Amino acid sequence: MTIFCEQHPTEPAHWTCSDCGSSFCPDCVLKRDAGDYVLGKIIHMCPKCVIPAEWIGAANTIVPFWNRLPKFFTYPLHPIPLLFNIGVCIMLLIASLLPLVKIIFILLLVGSVIKYSFSVLFRTAQGNMKPPSFTAGTVSESLKPVFKLLLLYFIGLIWTVIIIKYTGKAPGTLFWITFENLLLPAMIMILVATESVFHAVNPNLFIRLIFRIGKGYFAMCALLALLGAAPFVLLNLLMKIIPVGFNVFLFAFLLIYYRILSYHLMGYVLLQYNQEVGYEVDYDEFQNMSGNSKPEIPDPEAGLLTQINFMSREGKLDEAITLIKESTNTNDISNIKLSEQYYKLLKMKKMYPQMADHAVSYLHMLVRDKEKKKACDVFLECLSVDKEFTSAPVNIFAVAGWLYETGKVKEAMAAYNRIIKLYPGDNLVPNAYFRIAQIYHDRLMDTAKAKKILNAIIKKFPDHDIVQQAGNYLSTLPG
């Protein structure tokens, strides 16, 4: 059952807090840099308790394997495994023509297929859905996993022989079928996870793994058995219509295709149930490899915001305000959301002088981001609590324009006048006069007053850019 984020009921949770039991999506979890000693390492924390949170595991966020069956079938057809498969088949054909070294050649090729499928399993289990590339090393490098796998088969074979010897052929055959189809997949998964044959053949481990995964495991085995039979069935059907020499090639191709597919599937099951099985998947690697999200860069202010949001929801307003003051130089906050939250908190707590003080930098960001409505609201709110409230002329000028757009003519006029009164030497003063003239004519039907102002602009600021515009406007006015 999927666990969802406490704040986003449709987002699967990635993290859970062992202390308060809440679960969070990547947007809600608090991200902190682990510090200089582990460069680039990020710690994920519970935004409520501010202690490290635990990863819920891949199962909660990945598609269950039975819902992505077509993808398992296309995996071996990805260019890399496809090329590998065809390459091995061609070499196999060549080897079959060299009577003397045939056996060695074939063993090497089988070994490379086993090695490649192991790396498919391992990679998939780590959350990486891109097939591994192969190099000359794939064949020549350590053949240990090959021997380990053969050892597993060998152990199964010995047991079968023993059972046949003491109880007869039927129980022995039954044992082999059970071994190959039901036990071996679990053993292989343990072998890849632990790299130890000793662990892989330990019934205490593989039986436990089977029961931990439960129904999903048996579904996987059924699928593997079905697919395992497919190459033989297919070949039987095609035998009559294809040339004999091509038989070997096709059969080998189908076997390798099946092998890559099944190891990819086993790897995926291991990933999906990594928590149940106790197989460790590194979260950062999982995220990076599966391309689930962009690399996370912890932004201290974004982290703080997450924390503040949780505190606000729980009504801890004073604590939230204190935390912001302690963690930032409040007028240098660059995260607009955090700035907004701080402004709102101060407003809710009716801390008006501090609210107006913070609004200076907040309003600056609102104007920069063209947040018209919010900028107007903040400007008017601050003026209502503090008649002396002011901001840089350029900000007031922008807000005045937006106020006018939304029909707040009186407020817009007051804002333009504010620039003229408080910043008489500013370059925007003539522009403010010009806007006032426009308002007089367009809105207040006082053309005479508009003309008076326009003439004054031309006379008083002859070198300013606005003069030409003022002249043009003046010429359109009647009378």
Residues near Zn ion (CB under 5 A) are 5, 7-8, 17, 19-20, 25, 27-28, 46, 48-49
The nearer residue to Zn ion, 27 or 318, going by C-beta atoms, is 27
The nearer residue to Zn ion, 337 or 349, going by C-beta atoms, is 337
The nearer residue to Zn ion, 306 or 328, going by C-beta atoms, is 306
By DSSP bridging, strand 54-55 and strand 42-45 are unpaired
CB 206 within 8 A of CB 270: no
164: phi then psi, degrees, rounded to nearest 5: -60, -40
CB of 119 to Zn ion, least distance (A): 35
CA distances from 8 to 26, 112, 226, 373 (A): 11, 47, 40, 27
d(CA 174, CA 129): 35
CB of 188 to Zn ion, least distance (A): 37
Which pair of tokens denotes residue 161?
A: 């022989």
The nearer residue to Zn ion, 49 or 93, going by C-beta atoms, is 49
The nearer residue to Zn ion, 28 or 223, going by C-beta atoms, is 28
CB of 25 to Zn ion, least distance (A): 3
CB of 311 to Zn ion, least distance (A): 13
- Show the CA angle centred on residue 286, arms to residues 275 and 11, nearest 5°: 75
At residue 43, the 3 state secondary structure works out as: strand
d(CA 430, CA 420): 8
The nearer residue to Zn ion, 5 or 146, going by C-beta atoms, is 5
CB 342 within 8 A of CB 311: no
Q: Give the CB-nearest residue to Zn ion.
A: 17
The nearer residue to Zn ion, 7 or 85, going by C-beta atoms, is 7
Cα-atom radius of gyration of the chain, to the nearest Å? 36
Between the CA atoms of 177, 182, 184 and 189, what dihedral angle is there, to the nearest 10 degrees?
170
CB of 12 to Zn ion, least distance (A): 10
CB of 301 to Zn ion, least distance (A): 18
At residue 12, the 3 state secondary structure works out as: strand
At residue 52, the 3 state secondary structure works out as: strand
The nearer residue to Zn ion, 62 or 265, going by C-beta atoms, is 62
CB of 2 to Zn ion, least distance (A): 14
CB of 272 to Zn ion, least distance (A): 22
CB 297 within 8 A of CB 153: no
Residue found under tokens 């008649």? 387
